[in-house]
């Protein structure tokens, strides 16, 4: 079909309606072919290509499942309070307040205000990282020859910049991120060992405990020792559910977690949101 004229370009574009690619969002999300059995109505359904990014604002109580489809995804994650982006994921506080540098089921993702942005309610991977952050333009250029978003080896921070800009955020608003599906362990001497992935099909499920802006960059982990840039598709599904409430085992799992939930509940109550 000729595209040399406006009419030809229009007809060509319209002919693509209904076409599907391996990596793309499904709109509406309810048309996703195989939603999880336990999921409520889907509000986000997307496959993110390796070396790409995505973003969404999710309501409090929404559950978000990330799945490593082929075993070499790496989901770098940032969270912001949706209407006040100066409150954002604080990886250092997430680690030190909970006395744990390793992510897994039951971990709370904390803001710099001592409140819970999201809780990690399920994990079949166990290969995650709260220590290294994501890759940078300089480092990827040194390792792979290029780190720009349009290249074959985009840096996670460069992808985050694009996702941030679409939510009114600037590079200065990008704190250190968490990484899911590619892990590291700390040796006795303090050095880091890259542990790789748990294999295809591993997933994590997060529950939004406030309205949150979610930024995800699917990019090779900065500690991955392989000489080639490796990043495979990531599945993203989100559905309506309910936020954690008093009496839930997660709420009372630790004194530190209980205080973070109480801080969150007090703040939301003062705003008339609970």
Taking the C-alpha atoms of residue 7 and residue 129, their distance in angstroms, rounded to an integer, is 50
The CA angle 196-200-201, to the nearest 5 degrees, is 120
Taking the C-alpha atoms of residue 45 and residue 238, their distance in angstroms, rounded to an integer, is 7
Strands (E), the chain: 42-48, 52-58, 63-68, 75-81, 108-110, 116-123, 128-129, 178-180, 183-186, 192-196, 203-208, 212-218, 234-239
- Rg, Å, the chain Cα set: 19
Alpha helices for the chain (secondary structure H): 6-14, 91-97, 137-144, 156-165, 255-270
- With 0.85 as the threshold, say if the pTM is over it: yes
Taking the C-alpha atoms of residue 233 and residue 145, their distance in angstroms, rounded to an integer, is 22
Alpha helices for 70-178 (secondary structure H): 91-97, 137-144, 156-165
Question: Order of strands across the sheet with 63-68?
Answer: 42-48, 234-239, 63-68, 203-208, 116-123, 108-110
pLDDT at 89 over 90: yes
DSSP state of 55: E
Mean pLDDT for 241-251 is 96
Check residue 24 and give its pLDDT.
Answer: 85
Given phi > 0 = left and psi -120 to 50 = alpha, else beta, which region is 6? alpha
Given the structure tokens 């229009």, which residue do they identify?
10
Check residue 151 and give its pLDDT.
Answer: 98
Range of weakest confidence among 88-97, 110-119, 189-198: 189-198
Q: What is the pLDDT of residues 204-238, one digit of tens each?
A: 999 999 999 999 999 999 999 999 999 999 999 99
SS3 state of residue 156 = helix
SS3 state of residue 8 = helix
Mean pLDDT for 75-99 is 97
Check residue 56 and give its pLDDT.
Answer: 98
Q: What is the pLDDT of residues 202-213, one digit of tens each?
A: 999 999 999 999
Tokens representing 243? 């936020």
Mean pLDDT for 104-120 is 97
Check residue 170 and give its pLDDT.
Answer: 97
At 1, the pLDDT band (50, 70, 90 cuts) reads low
Compute the half-sphere exposure of residue 248: CA atoms within 13 Å on the CB side of its CA.
Answer: 14
Q: What is the pLDDT of residues 180-193, one digit of tens each?
A: 999 999 999 989 99
Adjacent-strand bridge partners of 66 = 204, 236
Compute the half-sphere exposure of residue 201: CA atoms within 13 Å on the CB side of its CA.
Answer: 0
Query: Measured between alpha carbons, how far apart are the two ends of the chain, in Å?
Result: 55
pLDDT at 146 over 80: yes
């Amino acid at each position: 079909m000729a595209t040399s004229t406006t009419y030809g370009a229009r007809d060509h574009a319209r002919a693509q309606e209904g076409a599907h690619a391996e990596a793309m969002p499904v709109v509406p999300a309810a048309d996703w072919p195989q939603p999880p059995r336990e999921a409520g109505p889907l509000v986000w359904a997307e496959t993110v290509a390796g070396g790409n990014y995505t973003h969404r604002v999710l309501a409090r109580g929404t559950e978000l499942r990330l799945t490593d489809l082929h075993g070499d995804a790496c989901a770098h994650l940032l969270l912001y309070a949706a209407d006040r982006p100066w409150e954002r994921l604080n990886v250092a506080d997430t680690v030190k307040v909970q006395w744990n540098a390793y992510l897994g089921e039951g971990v709370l993702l904390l803001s710099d205000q001592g409140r819970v942005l999201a809780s990690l309610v399920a994990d079949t991977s166990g290969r995650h990282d709260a220590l290294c952050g994501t890759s940078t333009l300089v480092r990827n250029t040194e390792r792979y020859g290029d780190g720009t978003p349009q290249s074959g080896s985009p840096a996670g921070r460069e992808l985050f910049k694009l996702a941030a800009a679409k939510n009114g955020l600037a590079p200065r608003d990008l704190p250190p991120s968490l990484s899911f599906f590619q892990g590291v362990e700390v040796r006795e001497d303090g050095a880091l060992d890259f542990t790789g992935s748990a294999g295809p099909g591993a997933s994590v499920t997060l529950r939004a405990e406030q309205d949150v802006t979610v930024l995800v960059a699917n990019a090779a982990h900065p500690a991955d020792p392989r000489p080639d840039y490796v990043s495979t598709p990531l599945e993203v599904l989100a559905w309506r559910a309910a936020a954690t409430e008093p009496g839930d085992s997660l709420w009372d799992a630790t004194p530190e977690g209980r205080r973070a939930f109480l801080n969150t509940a007090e703040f939301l109550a003062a705003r008339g949101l609970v």
